[in-house]
Each structure stands twice: as C-alpha cells, then as structure tokens.
C-alpha cells in the first residue's frame, strides 16, 4: 500500500493504482472520457487533469502512477481552468445535436460539459464533419459526434477480441472506422453502445425510440445463455424498450451478449396471448376455463406413466418446480428438462456445474475445451477466457481445444483433435499441451454440450475426470471440471430434479411416442416432427414457435421479462429477476397456470404465492434458499446440493467407453437459438449478415 | 473515404521485395515482427511503383502485410493512413511533393506550386494529371529548410527551386530523365552558393586555437 494525499485527506491505495483511481478511492469524482476501468489506459482526452504537488503543470491522472506521499489536488483553480479548456476543445468539433441524439440524457459529454464546462463557445470557424460508417445491424454510428477517445477501439481489440475498429488518418482528419466497410463480427458488439461516452455509437434497432429518463428500470437476468448475465430491463408503457447489463464482477463484469441485448423485438412478435384448443384438427381460440376443461377431460383416465413433460431452455425455476409437482400429482415419472438429451453425472451437483466458477477462469493456468465453442455458447464467458489469455501473456495460458472451432475463438488455441479420441491421446501424454496440463496447478476443462449430447457422453466425462486426476500439482481444493450449459433453465431443472424418475422416460423416449400426453413447457429446441402422431401435445409457453404449431392445446405463458423468476446459471449461482412488464393478453405467469390447472384437476398444488413456491423449491433443494442475492461460487454450494433429488434419478455411473467421431457444434447459428430470438427481426437480420455459423457450411 | 475505388483484387510480393522483406524482418525479434510494418508497407509501395508505375499501397497489400506480421489488418490500415508518405490511393508515375511550410513559402514555394500546376495541367493539390504522369501533393516541412524551397519527387529532394527550374525539371521527367537530386543552384549541399565564404584562411583559424 502507498499513502497518497488527495485534497488533504490521506488514503492508502495499492502501488499499481493511478492517480485517478486514488482520487476515486478518496471519494473524489474525476471527469474522464477515454479512461474505462476495464480497458487499457489511453490517456488521450485530457479530461482527467489534476494537480500534483511539485509537478510543473496539470497531469492526466488516469495514466499517472501513484507514489508514496504524493499530494493530489482535484479542486483548485488551475484544475478547474484546465477542465474548462479541455471541454472547450472537445466541443469545438462536436455538433450541438443533443435534442435529436439518442445518447441525450445519459451522455458523459453532456453531463461533463454541464458540470465542468464554461457554457459558451468562442469558436466561430467551421466544424468538421465525418461520414457515418455502416458497422452492421446493431450499432448505429454518427461519427461527427465522436470525440476520439478510442474506447471502442480498445473494447473490440481487448475485450471482444475482434480487432476490426481503428483510428485512421490523423489530426483533424482522424476518424474511427473499420476502413474497409464491414460489419463488426463480435457477439459482444452491443457493449460499444455503453462504452462510447457520447452519441457516436448508439443502438441501431432502438434509434429514436425513446429517452433514457422515460424508462421504468427493472433488474433481471438474461436467459439467452446459461451465464446468468445480470441485466436491467428498461420498459415504457408496458413495452420492453431496451436491455442493458448490470455490473456483476463475478458473472458478467459489465458486458452483455448481443443476443441478450437485441432479441427484445422478438418479445413483441409471434406471442401466444390467449389459450387455443385444437378442434377437428384446427386450433381455435378458447378461454382459460375451456382450455383447462378440455385438457382435464383429455387427461381423465389416462394412467400417470402415459403422461410426460419436457421443460424448455428459458424457464424460470418456479415454473419448473410447479411442472414437476403437477407431474408428480398426476402420478407420472416422465419429466425431463433436457430436451437435447444431454447426459450429466447426476450423483452430485458437481456433476453438472461449472465448478471453477466464472471467476475461476482468471485463476486457471491451462484450459482444455471439449466439445464446446464458448464464443457462440456464452460470449460473455468467452470474454473472460480472452481476458485470462491476455493477462497471462503470450504462451503462458495454453488453451487446447477438442473439436474444430467454427469461428475464431478470439484467443490462440491448439486444436488437439476432432473427437473424444484426443482425450485418450492427452492421457497418454507426450504432447506439449499434455505436459502443460499435467504440470498445471489449476488445470481447467470446459466440457460442452457438443460432447454431453453424444451417446458416449459418460465415457467422455470419465476421460476428463481421469485426465484431471493425472495432474501432478493440482492445487488443494481446485475443481477443474466444468460443464458449460447453454440453456438458462438447465441447472435449475437439474437442481429441482426434472429428470425421469423410476422407470420414467427421458425426453427422447417421450418424443418417440412413449407417452400419450406430452406437456411441453416452453420446449422448442428439438425436432417437433419427431413427436408421434398419436401424441396429444400441450404447449405452455410464450411464443408461437414450431412446438406450438404442433400442439393440441396451447396455454399462453410469460416471457422472462414478464414474470419474477429464479434462475440458476451454469456455475450454480441462484439469481432472481423481477417483472418488468405484464404478459400480453390472457397470458399468465407459468407457475400460476400450472397451479390453476392443478385446481381444476382437483389435485391442487400446495402453494398460492410466489413466496410459497420458493419455499417449496427450497424444500426440494436447499440451494434455492440462498436465492435473491445469495451469490456464491458453485464450489461452496456444491456440497449442500448432494441431497438434490437429481441423485435419486436413474443414472448410470460415469463410466463407459468413448467412440470415434467429431464433436458437432452446439450452436449452429448464434443469433437464432430460442423462440424469442427466432421471432426477432433484429436477430434475423444479424443471422442474414453474419451467416449461420461457419460450421454448418463445413458440414 | 471510398476504399473500394480502384483497388486491385490481389497482391503478391515479387522476388525483389521478398529479398527486402528478409532484411527488414531480420531487424526485429520474431515475436515482435509487427514492428516491421512500416518497412513492409514501404516495400509494397515501391513494388507497386516498379510494377504498375504508381507507387501506392492497396488494401490487399495491407492485408497481406497483416497476415505476414500476425497483426490485425486494421492496425496496418491505421499505420498506413497515419503517415502521409504511404499513398493509400493511386498516384501518378511521378509524385510531386511541394513543401509549403513557412521557410519554403518565404523562399518562393508559391512559384514552385504554380509552376507544377502550369507544367502538368493539375489544378489543385491531390490531383493527378490527365496523362497519369504526375500527382501534386502539398507537404509540410521536409527538414531541408536551408535549401528552401523544396520539391520532392518520389524519394528525391530537388532543392533551391524556383518557377523556371521546376518547369524544366518536370519537362525532363516527362522525357523519362531523372536529373540528379540535390541543389539546383551552384552550391554543394547546404554550403553557400558559389563555394565557401568563411574560414577561408587556414592559418588564421589554427592560430586562433593556439
Ligand atoms: S466512437 Fe465513441 S467510443 Fe469510439 S472513439 Fe468515438 S467517442 Fe470514443
Ligand atoms: S481520462 Fe485521462 S486522459 Fe482521458
Ligand atoms: S519548410 Fe520546407 S523544408 Fe522546412
């Protein structure tokens, strides 16, 4: 620690702090444009000038290292004049178009001009104008507004790992561009909108749709992948206007994937807003009462084992819990939350979690990716891997990959093979990567669904365990085996035991005609035409996707922005979201639908309030007791999860052999992976521009 | 800026360039080979001059350099566009670069500019003459103010210029001749015109030092 004196107050800060960070630690606000906590220091805007005792002139605090006994003055006449001058320079070429600028109201330039500027300009010459750039369907550019802070250049280069933006030409002609006109290829490009301090980079789909101060802001959790990104839903008059990330250093830092940010126009399209019942082969609108009665009549006399339920990828834990309880009440052992038929080691919670935790990526010293391409499956988590890769420096964080990456992973990988055979080769050792893995203190394996959805998943899992157990120097308490989920609801489903019970059928068994009545809770990610023609299908969900078209009864549910919910991310972190808007029309919260129907059946589920459902969830698995802000790494909760009913499920022990054959990509088209994104015109446009994942073409 | 305009579809370094690249790369440690970006851009520009008569760096050449040096293409675009010595647009066979910074201007760079325009038919800076032979560019101080005004043709400085000598130079260039670079008046380097003017007496200067 170093002691510095900020405006007369001593503070102790780490020696690698900059003067700006020291001032913040002392509670002083330092205006800045180019400095960003999560990017490298550029020091080119000069807004952060402060006075340092004995320095001959003001210094840019963002790039000025602290030293013992340094005296910093942040509020002297010299500093105030310096800031006014910098503001005046920045505004020389900045247009006065705040009234028509989408950044208005949340613009650093506006705020700081108001706080630190002079309020008048002495500049009467012509302002420069810069042509706008087309950088894809998501980010709109108004380049005349750019103040050349280069945050966007540093973000794409450092965090996103897609160095495509740069500052070309110089001086008066300098501009931010891709030079050759092209769309940014990052799955994180939406973050540029947040990173840009002015209105140069704004949201293209949301252009001219609203003002930041009009929105009602609700904390929520992203369900587009299993990272559990903390988000805030901004709504106006019952409509979701935009989604922005919230800061959570343990999960998403302050980033959000493009699908999470821009799928929202899908929330307004293809919605199921009233119940439908199939009459003489045609779906007709119905009231809740009629739909329930029709369904109850159909269920009458059907044996429990003839009924089955499959839960989809976007469900909240509450509805999963109610679905499981309803199936139990109907006497059915057929329930599954794995519509992709993935295999997990269900004997303990570690068997299906990202055990190192997302922050654990920062501690790992070698990484092996098996049947996964995190860039498409969890872009925000991929940014962590890249961060670790950059922090370690060239060659110090070896990353091996089994399976071909369909696109650049954004870090250097050694492709060790196409399929599970490569694991055997690694166990045998010999290769450079195998040696690095064996010697590592914190070796990490990320096992994806490219491997887990194969028939030999158990063998692959066992091979990964063996490989880790061969480590010679593994640190005490380090858990290196990580499952990367892609479905937001999956871990909650497993925690609540939504797997087939005794002699129960799995999702694929149910689809193959194993049941007469199939209840789909938002399950769309499977070939619907595989459902037997005789099967009576109940679709409960929010979007009229493929499965709804096949359904005999449709029960309209709520999307993730329309209900309070609990989600468990891939590392087992229990997080809660709140309702931002109401579901459209007759649609209702899903657990309430299930509860209401249980009453019609005369098998009323024993809860009537959200609190009561959550009590019930906690009773099934104590993990849920810590919900609502209880955020701890998987490794800590893991032990308590052993009582999870998942353990009771009929599962094979992790053994078996592996078969040859290349891993298939988990995500075929990043932009179209669920019912919401498939309904979104923005995502459709992205899919058109960026094409389906290169892997599909290669097949 | 329209980078698509007149861009060739491909670019390969020829054997002469490859030999120069080997030399350029040998100056930097292999893991820092990106440092060779400026030499390589220059090699590419000279090759274009050699092979097409227009010394410039097309986007495909920058992409090739990025690939060779293991850097992102945009980083090469940034460097190439930052320095005015790299031409990112086609230029004429002869690139006339007139210094108009204060010392040259005081010594008559306006006449040089006017002469260039008159002799080539170019009307404004940045233009290429109708016959494709000459491009006229305004540049800032070339660091040779003692011989102001300067007209730089490609890599050569023609010094102590005036209007008539500029016209004469352009005429001989047009004929395919390259007059020797350097002062165009009777002086050697930046020594006084007509020879040495001071320290004429060797004895005197030595005795001073005693
Ligand atoms: S576009 Fe925005 S983030 Fe990028 S340099 Fe300009 S002001 Fe900064
Ligand atoms: S914030 Fe320090 S120079 Fe920009
Ligand atoms: S001013 Fe022309 S060379 Fe210096």
- How much is the pTM? 0.92
10-residue stretch averages of pLDDT, chain B, 210 residues long: 70 97 97 96 96 95 97 97 94 96 97 97 95 95 95 95 96 94 93 86 58
Q: Are A278 and A451 in contact (CB under 8 A)?
A: no
- In a domain, residue B195? The reply is no
Q: Burial letters for A281-295: b for 16+ Cβ neighbours within 10 Å, e otherwise?
A: eebeebebeebbebb
B98 and B168 co-located in one domain: yes
Question: Domain with B162 in it: what CATH number?
Answer: 3.40.30.10
- Assess whether pLDDT exceeds 90 at residue A458: yes
B174 and B102 co-located in one domain: yes
Report how far residue A186's alpha carbon sits from residue A164's, in angstroms, rounded to the nearest whole number. 9
Contacts of A261 (CB under 8 A, 6+ apart): A190, A242, A243, A244, A245
> What does pLDDT average to over chain A?
92
Boundary of a domain, candidates B52, B82, B112: B82
- Assess whether pLDDT exceeds 90 at residue A691: no
A47 alpha carbon – ligand 2 mean position (Å): 5
pLDDT at B205: 55
A230-236 and A239-245 beta bridge pairing? antiparallel
Q: Burial letters for A627-659: b for 16+ Cβ neighbours within 10 Å, e otherwise?
A: beeebebbbebbeebeebbbeebebeebebebe
Give nearest CA residue, ligand 1 atom 8.
A149
B76 and B113 co-located in one domain: no
B66 to chain A: closest CA residue: A163
Is the minimum CB–CB distance between A129 and chain B shorter than 8 Å?
no
CA atoms within 13 A on the CB side of A305: 7
Contacts of A512 (CB under 8 A, 6+ apart): A530, A532
Tokens of A17: 């702090």
- Closest CA–CA distance from residue B2 to any residue of chain A (Å): 8
Which of B32, B34, B74 to probe the A interface (max A CBs under 10 A)? Answer: B74
> Which helix or strand (DSSP H or E) is residue B48 part of?
helix B37-52
- In a domain, residue B88? The reply is no
Question: Domain with B78 in it: what CATH number?
Answer: 1.10.10
Contacts of B10 (CB under 8 A, 6+ apart): B60
Place of tokens 């399950």: A523
Residues in chain A: 699
pLDDT at A601: 95
Summary count for chain B: helices (H), strands (E): 8, 5
3-state secondary structure A275-335: CEEEECCEEEECCHHHHHHHHHHHHCCCCHHHEEEEECCCCCHHHHHHHHHHHHHCCCCEE
**Structural domain harbouring B41:** 15-82
Closest ligand to the CA of B107: 3
Q: For residue A422, give the 3-state DSSP assignment.
A: helix
B108 and B54 co-located in one domain: no
pLDDT (tens digit per residue) in A235-247: 999 999 999 999 9
B116 and B65 co-located in one domain: no
Which of B57, B75, B81 to probe the A interface (max A CBs under 10 A)? Answer: B81
Nearest atom within ligand 3 for CA of residue B101:
1
B176 and B98 co-located in one domain: yes
Q: Is B144 in the pocket of ligand 3 (CB under 6 A)?
A: yes
B62 and B98 co-located in one domain: no
- The closest alpha carbon to A591, from A566, A622, A620, belongs to A566
For residues A319-338, average pLDDT: 96
When CB atoms are compared, the residue of A131, A166, A181 closest to B78 is A166
Q: How sure is the predictor about A320, in pLDDT bands with cuts at 50, 70 and 90?
A: very high
pLDDT (tens digit per residue) in A415-425: 999 999 999 99
Q: Burial letters for A11-22: b for 16+ Cβ neighbours within 10 Å, e otherwise?
A: bebeeebbbbbb
- In a domain, residue B199? The reply is no
Q: How sure is the predictor about A536, in pLDDT bands with cuts at 50, 70 and 90?
A: very high
Give the Cβ contact number of residue A237 at 10 Å: 9
pLDDT at A514: 85
Closest ligand to the CA of A31: 2
Cα dihedral across residues A582, A584, A586, A591: positive or negative: negative
For residues A456-478, average pLDDT: 94
B49 and B99 co-located in one domain: no
Count of the separate structural domains present in chain B: 2
Report how far residue A274's alpha carbon sits from residue A586's, in angstroms, rounded to the nearest whole number. 5
pLDDT at B5: 60
- In a domain, residue B168? The reply is yes
Boundary of a domain, candidates B82, B110, B136: B82
- In a domain, residue B32? The reply is yes
Record: contact A178-B74, CB cut-off 8 A: yes
For residues A629-652, average pLDDT: 40
- Closest CA–CA distance from residue B71 to any residue of chain A (Å): 9
Boundary of a domain, candidates B82, B113, B131: B82
Q: Are A657 and A663 in contact (CB under 8 A)?
A: no
Contacts of A306 (CB under 8 A, 6+ apart): A332, A515, A516, A517
Q: How sure is the predictor about A655, in pLDDT bands with cuts at 50, 70 and 90?
A: low
B50 alpha carbon – ligand 3 mean position (Å): 28
- In a domain, residue B4? The reply is no
Record: contact A179-B81, CB cut-off 8 A: yes
B72 and B99 co-located in one domain: no
Give the Cβ contact number of residue B68 at 10 Å: 17
pLDDT (tens digit per residue) in A188-203: 999 999 999 999 999 9
B153 and B133 co-located in one domain: yes
Q: What separation in angstroms does the CA of A549 have from each of A186, A278, A282, A365, A542? A: 33, 10, 10, 48, 12
B124 and B78 co-located in one domain: no
Q: How sure is the predictor about A120, in pLDDT bands with cuts at 50, 70 and 90?
A: confident
Residue A238 class from Cβ within 10 Å (0-12 exposed, 13-18 middle, 19+ buried)?
A: exposed
- Closest CA–CA distance from residue B1 to any residue of chain A (Å): 8
pLDDT (tens digit per residue) in A339-364: 999 999 999 999 999 999 999 999 99
- In a domain, residue B37? The reply is yes
- In a domain, residue B188? The reply is no
Q: What separation in angstroms does the CA of A395 have from each of A326, A390, A432, B192? A: 53, 10, 12, 59
- ipTM of this complex: 0.88
For residues A108-136, average pLDDT: 93
B73 and B109 co-located in one domain: no
- Phi/psi for A80 (5° steps) reads -60, -40
pLDDT at B202: 73
Is the minimum CB–CB distance between A131 and chain B shorter than 8 Å?
yes
Q: How sure is the predictor about A626, in pLDDT bands with cuts at 50, 70 and 90?
A: low
In degrees, to the nearest 5, what angle opens at C-alpha A151 toward C-alphas B32 and A46? 100
């Amino acid at each position: 620690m170093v002691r510095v004196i900020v405006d007369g107050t001593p503070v102790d800060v780490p020696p690698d702090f900059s003067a700006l960070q020291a001032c913040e630690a002392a509670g002083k606000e330092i205006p800045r444009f180019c400095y960003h906590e999560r990017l490298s220091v550029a020091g080119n805007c000069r807004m952060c000038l402060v006075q340092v005792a004995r320095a001959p002139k003001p210094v840019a605090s963002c790039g000025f290292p602290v030293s013992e006994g340094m005296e910093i003055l942040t509020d002297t006449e010299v500093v105030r004049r310096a800031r006014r001058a910098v503001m005046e320079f920045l505004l020389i070429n900045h247009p006065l178009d705040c009234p028509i600028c989408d950044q208005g109201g949340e613009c650093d330039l506006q705020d700081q001009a108001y706080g630190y500027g002079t309020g008048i300009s002495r500049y009467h010459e012509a302002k420069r104008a810069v042509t706008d750039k087309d950088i894809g369907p998501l980010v709109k550019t108004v380049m005349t507004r750019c103040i050349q802070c280069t945050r966007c250049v540093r973000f794409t280069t450092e965090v996103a790992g897609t160095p495509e933006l740069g500052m070309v030409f110089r001086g008066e002609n300098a501009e931010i561009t891709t030079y050759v006109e092209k769309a940014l290829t990052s799955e994180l490009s939406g973050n540029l909108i947040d990173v840009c301090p002015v209105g140069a980079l704004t949201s293209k789909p949301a252009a001219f749709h609203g003002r930041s101060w009009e929105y009602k802001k609700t904390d929520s959790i992203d369900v587009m992948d299993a990272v559990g990104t903390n988000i805030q839903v901004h709504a106006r008059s019952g409509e979701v206007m935009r989604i922005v990330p919230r800061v959570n250093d343990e999960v998403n830092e302050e980033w959000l994937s493009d699908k999470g940010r821009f799928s929202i126009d899908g929330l307004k399209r293809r919605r199921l807003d009233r119940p439908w019942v199939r009459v003489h082969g045609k779906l007709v609108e119905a009231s809740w009462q009629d739909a329930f009665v029709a369904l109850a009549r159909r269920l009458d006399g059907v044996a429990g084992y003839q009924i089955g339920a499959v839960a989809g990828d976007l469900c909240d834990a509450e509805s999963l819990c109610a679905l499981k309880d309803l199936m139990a009440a109907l006497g059915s052992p057929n329930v599954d939350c794995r519509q992709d038929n993935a295999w997990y080691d269900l004997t303990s919670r570690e068997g299906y979690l990202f055990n190192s935790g997302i922050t654990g990526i920062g501690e790992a010293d070698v990484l092996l990716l098996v049947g996964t391409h995190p860039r498409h499956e969890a872009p925000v988590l991929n940014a962590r891997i890249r961060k670790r890769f950059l922090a370690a420096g060239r060659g110090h964080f070896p990353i091996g990959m089994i399976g071909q990456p369909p696109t650049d992973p954004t870090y250097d990988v050694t492709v060790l093979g196409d399929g599970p055979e490569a694991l055997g080769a690694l166990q045998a050792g010999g290769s450079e990567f195998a040696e690095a893995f064996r010697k590592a203190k914190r070796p990490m394996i990320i096992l994806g669904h490219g491997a887990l959805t194969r028939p030999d998943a158990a063998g692959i899992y066992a091979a990964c365990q063996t490989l880790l157990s061969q480590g010679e120097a593994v640190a005490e308490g380090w858990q290196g085996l990580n499952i990367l989920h892609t479905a937001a609801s999956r871990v909650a489903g497993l925690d609540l035991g939504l797997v087939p019970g005794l002699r129960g059928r799995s999702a694929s068994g149910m689809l193959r005609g194993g049941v007469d009545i199939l209840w789909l809770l938002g399950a769309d990610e499977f070939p619907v035409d595989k459902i037997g023609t005789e099967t009576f299908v109940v679709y409960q969900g929010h979007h009229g996707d493929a499965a709804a078209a096949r359904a005999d009864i449709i029960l309209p549910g709520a999307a993730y922005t329309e209900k309070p919910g609990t989600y468990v991310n891939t590392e087992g972190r229990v997080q809660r979201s709140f309702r931002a808007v109401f579901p459209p029309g007759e649609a209702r919260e899903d657990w309430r639908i299930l509860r209401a129907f249980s009453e019609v059946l005369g098998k009323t589920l024993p809860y009537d309030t959200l609190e009561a459902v959550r009590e019930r969830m906690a009773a099934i698995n104590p993990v849920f007791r810590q919900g609502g802000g209880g955020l701890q790494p998987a490794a800590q909760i893991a032990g308590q999860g052993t009582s999870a009913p998942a353990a009771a499920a009929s599962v094979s022990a992790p053994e078996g052999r592996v078969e040859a054959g290349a891993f298939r990509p988990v995500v075929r088209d990043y932009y179209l992976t669920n019912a919401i994104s498939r309904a979104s015109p923005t995502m459709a446009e992205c899919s058109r521009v960026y094409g389906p994942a290169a892997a599909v073409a290669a097949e | 800026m329209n980078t698509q305009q007149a861009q060739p579809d491909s670019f390969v370094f020829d054997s002469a360039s490859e030999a120069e690249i080997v030399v350029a790369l040998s100056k930097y440690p292999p893991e820092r080979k990106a440092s060779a970006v400026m030499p390589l851009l220059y090699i590419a520009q000279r090759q274009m001059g050699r092979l097409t008569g227009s010394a410039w760096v097309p986007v495909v050449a920058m992409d090739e350099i990025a690939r060779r040096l293991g850097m992102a293409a945009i980083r090469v675009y940034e460097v190439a566009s930052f320095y005015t010595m790299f031409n990112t647009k086609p230029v004429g066979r002869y690139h006339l670069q007139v210094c108009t910074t204060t010392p040259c201007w005081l010594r008559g760079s306006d006449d040089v500019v006017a002469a260039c325009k008159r002799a080539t038919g170019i009307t404004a800076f940045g233009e290429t003459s109708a016959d494709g032979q000459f491009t006229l560019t305004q540049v800032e101080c070339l660091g040779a103010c003692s011989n102001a005004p300067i007209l730089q043709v490609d890599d050569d400085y023609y010094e102590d210029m005036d209007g008539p000598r500029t016209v004469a130079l352009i005429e001989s260039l047009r004929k395919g001749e390259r007059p020797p670079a350097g002062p165009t008046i009777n002086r050697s380097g930046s020594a006084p015109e007509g020879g040495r003017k001071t320290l004429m007496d060797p004895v005197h200067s030595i005795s001073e030092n005693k």
